A and B are shown apart, each in its own frame.
Chain A
Amino acid sequence: MSAWARFRRNRLALLGLALVAVLAVSAALAPWLAPLDPARQSLIEKRATPGAKYVLGADEFGRDILSRVIYGSRVALLVGVLSMLIALAGGLLLGTVAGFIGGWLDAVLMRGVEILLAFPYLLLALAIVAMLGPGVLNTTIAVGIWGVPAVTRIVRGSVLALREAEYVGAARALGSPGGALLRRHILPNVLPGLIVYATLFMANAILLEAALSFLGLGVQPPTASWGLMVSTGRDVLLVAPHVATVPGLAIMLAVLAFNLVGDGLRDALDPRLRGAA
């Protein structure tokens, strides 16, 4: 049975995929889907509760929360996908080099990784954002760079473990050159785990962007970012809980979608683990 056939039989994974599709459609068609202009303020209708005009209510400035949540999906997806690509590209390269070549190069790279990993995760991203200045693109770069050391460590760990595995030793004994060992025996076994990690990373990237924006250091107003919306709603939490909670639900659903797909991918790519007892 193919990986896709196995994936298709997993209902939760399909639900995740459907949610990702909704997210993608919402991001792509935001101007047509949003009932109102996300930036339009109406101060007399501020903190309006969900109803006919404002389906999910209005925020502190009387802006339509539904429209802002729809536009917010653009920021979340953009930051997530691009930062994941940055993290994977950097981590795969550095991790393979460190794990396979070893020696002093490994020592130097891993000390560098350890230095970057020694930062509480928000602070490294935050320092980079502070360096580059806030905004969508800079937040993406910061989140991507934040991901590189962790991916490097994971890739290096599995390359190191696989390098010592018996079947790789056997291939080496049979005269397989280094490049072929990497390509045929090591990397194919690193990738399935990494695809799952990449999906988890999408989830984390969306969370980190939201956190940076929540603290006021990521995406800046008036751009609609979910984390920023929760932050605005926090000030009126006691009088109008929907202003903070609705955008938070959007974050959760987006992150959940990628987690579900990641789980489904893992089961589909490594069927041994499904139902193994």
Chain B
Amino acid sequence: MLTFVVRRLLLAVPVLLGVVFVVMLTIDLLPGDAVTLMLGEHATKDAVAALREHLGLDKPFAVRYVDYVGRLVRGDLGRSIQQNRPVAIELADAWPATLQLTVAALLLAAVVGIVAGVVSAVWPNSLFDAVARLASLFGLSMPIFWTGLVLIVIFSLWLRWLPVGGAGSLSHLVLPAITLALPSVAMVSRMTRSAVLDVLGEDYVRTARAKGVGEAWVLGKHALRNAFIPILTLLGLQSGQLMGGAVLTETVFAWPGLGRLMVKAIFARDYVLLQGAVLVFALAFVVINLLVDLSYGLLDPRVGRQG
């Protein structure tokens, strides 16, 4: 098990290096030139060249990549082009808001989704199942930027219960967290339902029932334990969806997090800031999926031995 953990940790390093590579490559291919954009259309050629050199953009891609990774190891993410502040500080300012939003949404998704899915699977085609499935269909079908706007109209403009946007108090968190969580709640409950139903149709469950094992034990020991592997995989993947969804949610609710910072960086072609923001998201996502992978070993002893 320990070698499995160490191996997975070591495998995360090339993933992060790959992420940096892909980000730098795509930004390298962006049509607009950050420098021209910064200095305006009327900048002299000399000024553009000087700034390019200052930012290191005159060097070949491979050199810039090695430079960036080298500085990264020392914790230096560079300075943002627009604000000319250390990127690490800009990210540190925005990160807590996004963490708060995504964790709240992930908890909502996991708790509501798993409970609804298990109840649906245990009593398939019941009234609860029908209502939950219909609700999850709508949850999956609503674009979150639109859900956010509709929730604003209902709860902020008509009922005046909750603020339109911004951050600060718990009441500011309610609408963005629900907006962000809805598709994941739906996804998790659907997946849980079908995973539990899958397992309940397995021969070993029939065998357990045939030998007289109680229904609660069948569900807890045989069904849920096996169903949790696909559910965990989904939750790991959903955390990435939530971070991506945060980009939209934060835009709609003026939530001062990484997502909004990233959108601003994209439109301003502030590639230094963009690289840093993507890297933080990617790091979080890799760590979460690492934990998911490691938990397979706890749930299914066969995995640890194979790895």
Whole-angstrom CA separation of A260 from B141 in the bound complex = 10
CB of A66 closer than 8 Å to a CB of B: no
CB of A57 closer than 8 Å to a CB of B: no
Stretch at the interface among B67-75, B107-115, B246-254: B246-254
B125 touches A215 (CB 8 A): no
Contacts of A256 in B (CB 8 A): 137-138, 141
CB of B174 closer than 8 Å to a CB of A: no
B278 touches A114 (CB 8 A): no
Known: A119-B19, A133-B31, A256-B137. A248 touches B244 (CB 8 A): no
A118 touches B149 (CB 8 A): no
Cβ distance B280 to chain A, nearest Cβ, rounded Å? 10
A234 touches B149 (CB 8 A): yes
Whole-angstrom CA separation of A150 from B198 in the bound complex = 21
Known: A123-B278, A237-B153, A256-B137. A251 touches B23 (CB 8 A): no
Stretch at the interface among A25-33, A172-180, A268-276: A268-276
B278 touches A227 (CB 8 A): no
A120 touches B200 (CB 8 A): no
Q: Chain A residue with minimal CB distance to B134?
A: A12
Choose one: B18, B138, B146, B198; the contact of A245 (CB below 8 Å). B146
A118 touches B143 (CB 8 A): no
Contacts of B30 in A (CB 8 A): 130-131
Whole-angstrom CA separation of A253 from B137 in the bound complex = 10
**Main SS at interface, chain A:** helix
Known: A120-B243, A123-B244. A211 touches B145 (CB 8 A): yes
Whole-angstrom CA separation of A274 from B149 in the bound complex = 36
Whole-angstrom CA separation of A275 from B130 in the bound complex = 12
A215 touches B244 (CB 8 A): no
CB of A116 closer than 8 Å to a CB of B: yes
B141 touches A259 (CB 8 A): yes
Cβ distance A93 to chain B, nearest Cβ, rounded Å? 20
Cβ distance B71 to chain A, nearest Cβ, rounded Å? 20
Choose one: A122, A207, A248; the contact of B150 (CB below 8 Å). A248
Whole-angstrom CA separation of A241 from B146 in the bound complex = 11
Per the CB 8 Å criterion, the residue count for chain B at the interface is: 57
Choose one: A111, A130, A252; the contact of B11 (CB below 8 Å). A111
Cβ distance B272 to chain A, nearest Cβ, rounded Å? 15
CB of B268 closer than 8 Å to a CB of A: no
Contacts of A117 in B (CB 8 A): 237, 240, 285, 289
Whole-angstrom CA separation of A203 from B197 in the bound complex = 23
Query: Which chain B residues (66-96) contact chain A, with CB distance < 8 Å?
Result: none
Whole-angstrom CA separation of A276 from B152 in the bound complex = 41
Choose one: A111, A120, A263; the contact of B14 (CB below 8 Å). A111
CB of A170 closer than 8 Å to a CB of B: no
A203 touches B19 (CB 8 A): no
Choose one: A119, A120, A275; the contact of B124 (CB below 8 Å). A275
Interface 0/1 of A199-233, CB less than 8 Å to B: 01001000100110011010000000001001000
Contacts of A169 in B (CB 8 A): none
CB of A44 closer than 8 Å to a CB of B: no
Whole-angstrom CA separation of A144 from B19 in the bound complex = 19
CB of B281 closer than 8 Å to a CB of A: yes
Q: Chain B residue with minimal CB distance to A272?
A: B201
Contacts of B262 in A (CB 8 A): 123
Interface 0/1 of B256-296, CB less than 8 Å to A: 00010011001000000000001001100110010000000
Cβ distance B290 to chain A, nearest Cβ, rounded Å? 10
Contacts of B14 in A (CB 8 A): 111
A112 touches B248 (CB 8 A): no
Cβ distance A10 to chain B, nearest Cβ, rounded Å? 12
Q: Interface centre among A126, A200, A266, by most B CB within 10 Å?
A: A126
Cβ distance B261 to chain A, nearest Cβ, rounded Å? 12
A115 touches B200 (CB 8 A): no
B244 touches A130 (CB 8 A): no
CB of B103 closer than 8 Å to a CB of A: no
Contacts of A203 in B (CB 8 A): 140-141
A215 touches B240 (CB 8 A): no
Contacts of B133 in A (CB 8 A): 263
CB of A70 closer than 8 Å to a CB of B: no
Contacts of B137 in A (CB 8 A): 256, 259-260, 263
Choose one: A118, A237, A238, A266; the contact of B240 (CB below 8 Å). A118
B200 touches A276 (CB 8 A): yes
Choose one: B31, B140, B251; the contact of A215 (CB below 8 Å). B251
CB of A69 closer than 8 Å to a CB of B: no
A121 touches B149 (CB 8 A): no
A276 touches B197 (CB 8 A): yes
Interface 0/1 of A256-267, CB less than 8 Å to B: 100110010010
Whole-angstrom CA separation of A128 from B237 in the bound complex = 20
B22 touches A115 (CB 8 A): yes
Whole-angstrom CA separation of A123 from B274 in the bound complex = 10
B143 touches A130 (CB 8 A): no
B281 touches A248 (CB 8 A): no
Known: A127-B26, A266-B194. A120 touches B141 (CB 8 A): no
Contacts of A127 in B (CB 8 A): 22-23, 26-27
Query: Which chain A residues (100-126) contact chain B, with CB distance < 8 Å?
Result: 111-112, 114-123, 126
Can you list 13 A-B contacts (CB < 8 A)?
Answer: A115-B18, A115-B22, A120-B278, A121-B240, A126-B266, A127-B26, A200-B140, A211-B143, A217-B266, A230-B145, A256-B141, A263-B137, A266-B194
4 smallest beta-carbon distances between A and B, as pairs: A248-B146, A120-B244, A115-B18, A121-B244
